[in-house]
């Protein structure tokens, strides 16, 4: 058993990666001369770059670390993720992006403004800001775990390093810098997952067949039990991802902003399809990694202190050669920074265009705001250190409280004529109460909280909207 000795070469690998990312940000400084450049890359960004960026942004370090850990402890229901992404793609193109491109919006909340009025836009945009600030804390915290295991550097220092680097290149280069650094991070992420998977397959006697058999004996393929809501099952997880991905790809400003940067609906379609295929492939790799980790540590020693989200970083640091382990820790860095830069740029866009926190919409103010948000994100990550929940649990807690109701407002606005903001407010209150109750009582798996919150909010919103509409 190798010890947790990071090595000089690994430090060099990570430092080289960070320097490359910063140089890309500096390069795009010259191209980010206007607010349109800063927010939308001048609407001239390549669709394949947008597709890579879309995947890298949504698939954060939380995903890279948390999905294998989830498979390790539970089952393979996340297999349905890739299929859900492919199913959702044509729906969001037809129901959302046709409208966005027709209206030439910068943010998805401009659609809310046109459909429900300015108050609805301000309210939902504010909910989104709260969610993203909490989410950015998770995004920074996740790779800090790997840094802490590898080097012994305290979590807070890792949080500060990641936060400062991502804030720096996002500030200087705007959306173009974000997208093209995401391209680099997508490539590093893909190579990293493939390398880990190959390492596991060659480290286990019997290779793939042993991994599958161990998973079968551990009932990790028992994925159709939908009577016990505390256990993940493919039918329920599939329903969940159908709605979550509709939010992620159809209404979330991170993806909307990227899609609008392509300049046309045709290019947006290509980017969405590319992302859906990437989802299917890479999430499948992560699931196999989770099964491989379970099979490997079934016959190899795993310290008791190494649990939950620490399992994958621990394997990388103890089982892979120096240099390669540095590259793979850099891949976790990549996943984190691709999400962090996207979140910072998106929040700046929403705060300036929807919440109008500056009277003067200047490029200088946009960059000042990005720096401020970076500092807030670092503080948010510090708070996450105090949480005992798994990364994926914290993620879905935030998603169910903030994002599920937002998706509900978008969908009822698209699908019905009588939907109104007042009716949605009632639905929001009900969904918050029920979500908090379910979370507190642990009646269902945390992943299902998003679906339950969305369904409650939608039903109550439609009911009260219809009553108010009829009365009117």
Convert the pLDDT of each residue in 123-153 to its tens digit: 999 999 988 888 888 778 877 877 777 777 8
The pair phi, psi for residue 461, each rounded to 5°, is -65, -45
* Per-residue tokens: 174: 């705007």
pLDDT at 264: 87
Average pLDDT rounded to a whole number, residues 375-384: 85
Q: How far is CA 21 from the centre of its chain?
A: 20
* Per-residue tokens: 43: 């609407």
pLDDT at 62: 66
Please give the Cα distance from 227 to 224 (Å, whole number).
9
Find the angle CA(66)-CA(72)-CA(74) to the nearest 5 degrees.
95
pLDDT over threshold 70, residue 417 = yes
DSSP type of residue 448 = G
Contact between 112 and 256 (Cβ < 8 Å): no
Q: What CATH number labels 8-384?
A: 1.20.1730.10
Q: How far is CA 443 from CA 93, 448, 449, in A?
A: 35, 10, 10
Find the angle CA(212)-CA(216)-CA(221) to the nearest 5 degrees.
100
- Give residue-wise pLDDT tens across range 294-322: 999 988 888 877 777 788 888 988 888 88
Average pLDDT rounded to a whole number, residues 192-217: 87
Which of the listed ranges 41-55, 377-391, 446-460 does the model predict with the highest average pLDDT? 446-460
pLDDT at 81: 84
In 10 A of CB 280, how many CB atoms?
16
Residues in the chain: 472
pLDDT at 181: 75
3-state SS assignment for residue 307: coil
pLDDT at 46: 85
3-state SS assignment for residue 119: helix
**Among 38-42, 303-307, 443-447, 463-467, the least confident range:** 38-42
pLDDT at 243: 92
Q: Based on the number of CB atoms within 10 Å of its own CB, is 385 exposed (0-12), middle (13-18) or buried (19 or more)?
A: middle
pLDDT at 120: 93
Give the pLDDT band (50/70/90) at residue 36. low
Which run of H or of E encompasses 45? none
More confident residue, 472 or 460: 460
**Ramachandran sector of residue 192 (left: φ over 0; alpha: ψ -120 to 50; beta: rest):** alpha
Average pLDDT rounded to a whole number, residues 206-214: 85
Average pLDDT rounded to a whole number, residues 164-190: 75
Closest to 257 in 3D by CA, of 110, 396, 139, 372:
110
pLDDT over threshold 50, residue 383 = yes
Calculate what percentage of the chain has a pLDDT beyond 70.
90
Which of the listed ranges 29-43, 54-68, 237-251, 359-373 does the model predict with the highest average pLDDT? 237-251
Please give the Cα distance from 469 to 424 (Å, whole number).
13
For the chain, give every domain's residue range. 8-384, 385-472
pLDDT at 1: 42
The pair phi, psi for residue 346, each rounded to 5°, is -65, -45
CA dihedral sign, ordered 277, 283, 286, 290: negative
Contact between 344 and 370 (Cβ < 8 Å): yes
pLDDT at 261: 84
pTM across the whole model: 0.81
């Amino acid at each position: 058993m190798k010890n947790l000795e990071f090595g000089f070469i690994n430090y060099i690998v990570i430092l080289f990666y960070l320097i490359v990312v910063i140089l890309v940000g500096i390069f795009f400084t010259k191209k980010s001369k206007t607010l349109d450049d800063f927010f939308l890359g001048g609407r001239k960004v390549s669709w394949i770059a947008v597709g890579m960026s879309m995947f890298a942004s949504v698939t954060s370090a939380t995903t890279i670390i948390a999905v294998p850990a989830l498979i390790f402890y539970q089952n393979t229901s996340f297999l349905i993720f890739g299929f859900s992404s492919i199913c959702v793609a044509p729906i969001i193109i037809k129901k959302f992006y046709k409208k966005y491109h027709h209206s030439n919006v910068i943010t998805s909340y401009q659609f809310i403004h046109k459909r429900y009025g300015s108050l609805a836009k301000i309210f939902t945009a504010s909910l989104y800001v709260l969610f993203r600030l909490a989410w950015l804390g998770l995004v920074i915290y996740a790779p800090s775990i790997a840094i802490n295991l590898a080097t012994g550097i305290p979590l807070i220092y890792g949080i500060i390093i990641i936060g400062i680097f991502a804030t720096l290149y996002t500030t200087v280069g705007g959306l173009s810098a974000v997208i093209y650094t995401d391209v680099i991070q997508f490539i590093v992420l893909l190579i990293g997952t493939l390398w880990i998977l190959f390492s596991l397959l060659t480290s286990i006697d019997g290779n793939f067949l042993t991994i599958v058999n161990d998973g079968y004996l551990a009932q990790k393929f028992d994925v159709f039990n939908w009577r016990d809501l505390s256990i993940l099952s493919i039918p329920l997880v599939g329903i969940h991802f159908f709605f979550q991905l509709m939010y992620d790809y159809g209404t979330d400003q991170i993806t909307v902003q990227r899609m609008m940067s392509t300049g046309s609906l045709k290019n947006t379609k290509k980017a969405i399809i590319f992302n859906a295929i990437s989802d299917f492939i890479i999430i499948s790799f992560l699931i196999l990694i989770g099964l491989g980790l379970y099979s490997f540590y079934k016959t190899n020693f795993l310290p008791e202190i190494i649990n939950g989200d620490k399992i994958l970083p621990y394997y990388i640091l103890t089982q892979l050669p120096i240099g390669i382990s540095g590259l793979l820790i850099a891949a976790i860095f990549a996943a984190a920074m691709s999400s962090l830069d996207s979140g910072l740029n998106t929040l700046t866009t929403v705060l300036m265009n929807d919440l109008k926190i500056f009277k003067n919409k200047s490029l200088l103010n946009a960059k000042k705001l990005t720096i401020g948000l970076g500092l807030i994100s670092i503080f948010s990550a510090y708070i996450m250190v105090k949480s005992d929940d798994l990364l994926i649990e914290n993620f879905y807690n935030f998603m169910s409280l903030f994002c599920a109701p937002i998706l509900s407002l978008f969908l009822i606005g698209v699908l019905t004529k009588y939907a109104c903001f007042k009716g949605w407010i009632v639905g929001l209150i009900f969904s918050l109460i029920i979500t908090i109750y379910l979370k507190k009582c642990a009646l269902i798996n945390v992943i299902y909280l998003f679906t339950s919150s969305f369904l409650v909010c939608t039903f109550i919103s439609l009911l009260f909207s219809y009553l108010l509409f009829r009365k009117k």
